[in-house]
Structure 1
Amino acid sequence: MLFRNLEYDWQDMNRRTFLKTSGAGACWLAAPGLRGAEPNSTADEAELLSRAKEQIEKHRKGDGVIVVRDASGKPIANAILKLEQTRHQFLFGCNFFMFGRIRDPEREEEYRRRFASLLNYATLGFYWPYYEPERGKPIYDYTDKVTAWCREHGITCKGHPLVWDYADPKWLPQDFAEIRALSNARVREIVERFHGRIDIWDVVNEPTHLGRFKTRTGERAMAMGAVPYTAEALKIARAANPRALLLVNDYRTDPPFQQILEELREDGKLLFDAIGIQSHMHGGGWPLRKIWDVCSGPRAEKGRWAATTPEGEAAQAEYVPKFYTMLFAHPAVEALTWWDFADEGAWQGAAAGWLRKDMSPKPAYERLMKLLKDEWWTKAESRTNQHGEAAIRAFFGAHRVTAQLSDGRTSTKEIIWKRDQPNRREVSVN
């Protein structure tokens, strides 16, 4: 499925939530209309999932009309319409850091194949020490290859992160003014260079906890202050690509993060478009009710590592579909990135991937495939009325529609079903 020119209106996603998660876990829920049984009970979980499915029907699908006409524009009655989804508007993704870095060619190919089969969203790494190990020589050639492959396979790319104080390049100078100039130039150059290929950016990562890594970039950030430091990077990225979707990403959802977000304004307008919420859950899944609270009214949570066991895979397979159901149901969430896609090269060696190191799928991968490409995937058939119209309800995203006339003639067209917009599409049959 090739969608090289698919373009969504990212401005529709202002101030919505991008959620990045690591491990087998979830969030919490407590919003109007979702309260009921005792929190975290079996009955509560069943009720939450039931209500979440109703919310998915409400927020992730829309009604519309497809009109079939002949070459002269005359409506054609009694035409059979078949609609099949080819891509979600919602972004389901993982980091894609192992692209081109798996030594065994067969496992590398399997890694790519399984990624493209399931997902439409890839996070690419831009960590300064590794992206520019030698001053003035960033690894642009590598990113060019990844973005080209993603474009060929209809996968949207996000860059992560442009600014983060966790580590310094070995060559970084001592002077704060020089560090600031180099960082700003890096943001500008990268965003400009990948304009049109990467239009979603985690511009600043974890601005709530500056200085904890004892780096020169962190000391420079602390000297500036969290808000000026973050605002400067956002404004530079905005100037480099005015159409980009800019995020501030953090693992905290408590008042300090909220305060920073509120202060990131210029002339009353927010400097960012969306927020990224990390939710590391290697110690086990959050209660389902927490998911909604993180999206609607944040809480802070600490986790711990969990061991890798066959039982862990089974627990992951049971939990991940529930986690995705809760988040897909929340209208504030526009994208979900799982960390990592495979256990090979996973962050801190965590067995959080959906693929084992040999690239065989874990049960969670198969469960998600059924969810994303079956249960949440439009396959509809209808017939036009005397006005050449057929009413359709479909998930938002790209679809392939085929109109077949009684004499056997057919016409196929790619269409996009959009959220918050009237969906009236036409198919012409010559």
Structure 2
Amino acid sequence: MSEALAHRRGEVELRVLDLAGRPLADREVVVEQVRHAFAFGCIGFDLIDHATGDRDESALAADWLELFSLAVLPFYWGDFEPRRGRPATRRLQTAARWFRDRGVRVKGHPLVWHTVKAAWLDALPDAEAEALVRARVRREVADFGGLVDEWDAINEVVIMPDFVNEPDGVPNAISRIARRLGRVEMVRLAVDEARSVDPSARLLLNDFDLSADYERLIEGVLEAGIRLDGIGVQTHMHQGFRGAQLLELADRFGRFGLPVHFSESSLVSGDLMPAHIVDLNDHVVDEWPSTPEGEVRQADELEQLYRMLVGHPAVASITYWGITDHGAWLGAPIGLVRADGSRKPSFDRLRSLVRDEWWLPATTLRTDGEGRVRVTGLAGDYVITAADARAEFALPVGSSTQVVELGAA
């Protein structure tokens, strides 16, 4: 295993006890990894209908589960509660439970955002709108307790106060509140309301504006005593691979001492978006096909992306923004699977990293006379089995010792 990943590797001396609590001495055992500690994430939007039983996407689900261990579910207020008082809570709870039942962690995106917000909020007085924003944060964190343990607490605050008027002329309520409170206090609103319900929730600040303005916002938030659990960095690469800039971003945002989450990443397997486009949403085309040469490029760049960021000690997760081209954001061919369900080279390239090079497959080892065995691998969750007995254990970074008691398989 590459020395570049030494900061993610662990070595544990297990003392294995049998079903009677005695050391399992001089016996063969099988150790196998079941999950990475590093979060290999992807949006789970495409599998919501499958999880709720509304559509059979078994093949896509199998592909998804083969690569990823963190699912991001959509909590865009305008879609989640288009009619006041009728949120899609049960539907997303069902989806979250489907992922959790398969050993996948679930993240909610986002709790507060000025875009795709509830249109009915705009006509309300500021005080009432603010009260509803606060209540919305508390409601979602409470309703998804035990299912969603990580949230983009607030999204794209850098431009939030300046996004007051919608194209239809209706003032944006979220942006009005942000303008009145200021960016730092708007972050406090989202974080404090979420923590009031679930103090253990992991709460992130997330943004696409990676300029010095975002760094100043983070500094202000931390100086104000607002506790964040991570910094979200969006890196959609519809206009080309960012290369070494990815490491520069990890350095810049890692200096705050918080885990850096590359929260929205994408690479195009077709023609690149023209460089003069400022807002990616402004690029509208009738068709945006994946191409053979684009797929080769995407696979090479995807491998570079993951090797660079998994190799950086400040980075805690990478979330890819969609496994399939079908219904992909902006219609771009960013998926690892084509619209017809066939795998692109990028799928196989990522699989070779996540499930081969960076993975400990079922491995037979032998305990010593006192039931001890040494396991080395990347930090994560593992299973040890002996005949018809098994136990789960977590392998942390660094050296450690543990006692595991086998139970019935």
Equivalent position to 1:111, from 46, 60, 63: 60
Equivalent position to 2:241, from 261, 285, 307: 285
Q: Is the 8 A contact 1:66 1:427 kept in 2?
A: no
Q: Is the 8 A contact 1:93 1:120 kept in 2?
A: yes
Give the 5 Å matches for 1:83-232.
83-101=31-49, 108-172=57-121, 173-210=123-160, 211-212=162-163, 214=165, 215-232=172-189
Q: Is the 8 A contact 1:165 1:221 kept in 2?
A: no
**Map of 1:416 onto structure 2:** 394
Letter in 2 for 1:79: R
Distance 1:420 1:61, change over 3 A: closer
Distance 1:420 1:159, change over 3 A: farther
Q: What's the secondary structure of 2:57's corresponding residue?
A: helix
Deviates more, 1:139-148 or 1:379-388: 379-388
Partners of 1:265 and 1:426 in 2: how far apart? 40
**Map of 2:227 onto structure 1:** 271
Give 5+ residue unaligned stretches, structure 1: 1-51, 404-408
Shift of 1:70: 4.7
TM-score, normalised via structure 2 length:
0.83
**Map of 1:385 onto structure 2:** 368
Give 5+ residue unaligned stretches, structure 2: 166-171, 255-266, 275-287
Q: Is the 8 A contact 1:411 1:427 kept in 2?
A: no
**Map of 1:244 onto structure 2:** 201
**Map of 1:81 onto structure 2:** 29
Shift of 1:74: 4.8
Distance 1:315 1:107, change over 3 A: farther
Partners of 1:70 and 1:105 in 2: how far apart? 45
Letter in 2 for 1:295: A
Partners of 2:54 and 2:18 in 1: how far apart? 50
Shift of 1:254: 2.7
**Map of 2:312 onto structure 1:** 330
Distance 1:123 1:387, change over 3 A: same
Distance 1:256 1:318, change over 3 A: same
Partners of 2:53 and 2:145 in 1: how far apart? 32
Partners of 2:116 and 2:126 in 1: how far apart? 15
**Map of 1:340 onto structure 2:** 322
Shift of 1:252: 2.5
Q: Is the 8 A contact 1:167 1:217 kept in 2?
A: no
TM-score, normalised via structure 1 length:
0.79
Q: Is the 8 A contact 2:303 2:349 kept in 1?
A: yes
Give the 5 Å matches for 1:352-367.
352-367=334-349
Partners of 2:400 and 2:49 in 1: how far apart? 44
Partners of 1:219 and 1:429 in 2: how far apart? 57
| CA deviation map 1:235-266 (0-9, x unaligned) | 00111111100000011333221221122247
The total of aligned residue pairs comes to 368
Greater relative CO (CA pairs within 8 A, separation 6+): 1
Deviates more, 1:65-74 or 1:197-206: 65-74
Partners of 2:54 and 2:201 in 1: how far apart? 34
Distance 1:414 1:252, change over 3 A: same
Q: Is the 8 A contact 1:121 1:158 kept in 2?
A: yes
